[in-house]
Amino acid sequence: MTTDVIRQITDRIAPEYEQIFPRETTERIVVESLNTLTEQATVTAWLPTFAERFARDRLRALAKNEHLFDDERPAVLFLCVHNAGRSQMAAGLLRHLSGGAIAVFSGGSEPASEINPVAVQAMAEIGIDITNEFPKPWTNEVVGAVDVVVSMGCGDACPVLPGKRYVDWELEDPAGKPIDVVRRVRDEIGKRVGDLIAVLGVEPRSV
């Protein structure tokens, strides 16, 4: 990415955190986020947009870790291998069903280059749009900022930090599967997300 793109993204984000972090910290996170996503990208048209969102997530998490950000919502991180199917569907369902009352993150141990289009289709069938989501790795900032880490098949690659609640959901991998299989996985995730919302004490919305 060019220095102009880095400067433009930093210019948009820095004012939001100028009372928390120096501009140099914001720029560093932007550069790291761009570099990380560039390594896995096959199509770069949306890369600056995705990198900006990734950087925002990381900065918000970093501020929360350092007790510099006032966000009392419970936070959940969904992890799978590619961050392209199960974890993205779970994140979409939790965002929708919690109505924003839960901070939601997702990541992968080996992020894919794009979201599974069949997962996107299955979610669209129940009125949840995940077309603007993108695979990304988990980061130490985000893991440190969440209350619950939900693992979906990333095994030993999933990060383990003390003081976190860890939940392992054994779910079929929807990668390369037909829509009927992906619907079944989606519905199972929906049930588990509903249970998680109840545990976190949030009143769920209907799909």
Whole-model pTM? 0.91
* pLDDT, one tens digit for every residue, the chain (207 residues): 589 999 999 999 999 999 999 999 999 999 999 999 998 877 677 899 999 999 999 999 999 988 887 788 999 999 999 999 999 999 999 999 999 999 999 999 899 989 999 999 999 999 999 999 999 999 999 999 999 999 998 766 677 777 788 999 999 999 999 999 999 999 999 999 999 999 999 887 766
- Domains of the chain with CATH codes: 1-71 (1.10.8.1060), 73-207 (3.40.50.2300)
Among candidates 91, 166, 72, 119, which has minimal Cα distance to 158?
Answer: 166
Alpha carbon distance 128, 195 (integer Å): 19
Alpha carbon distance 172, 181 (integer Å): 9
- Give pLDDT, residue 43: 63
Residue 135 near residue 108 (C-beta atoms within 8 A): yes
- Give pLDDT, residue 155: 67
- Give pLDDT, residue 69: 79
- Give pLDDT, residue 26: 97
Q: Exactly one of 80, 89, 97, 152 is catalytic; which is it?
A: 80
Q: Exactly one of 59, 158, 189, 202 is catalytic; which is it?
A: 158
DSSP string, 49-92: HHHHHHHHHHHHHHHHHTT-S---S-EEEEEESSSSSHHHHHHH
Q: Exactly one of 150, 154, 193, 196 is catalytic; which is it?
A: 154
147, burial (CB in 10 Å: exposed 0-12, middle 13-18, buried 19+):
middle
Angle at 73 between CA 203 and CA 92, to 5 degrees: 65
- Give pLDDT, residue 40: 80
- Give pLDDT, residue 44: 73
Alpha carbon distance 176, 45 (integer Å): 24
Alpha carbon distance 80, 110 (integer Å): 8
Q: Is 80 a catalytic residue?
A: yes
- Give pLDDT, residue 207: 65
Alpha carbon distance 153, 159 (integer Å): 12
Q: Is 154 a catalytic residue?
A: yes
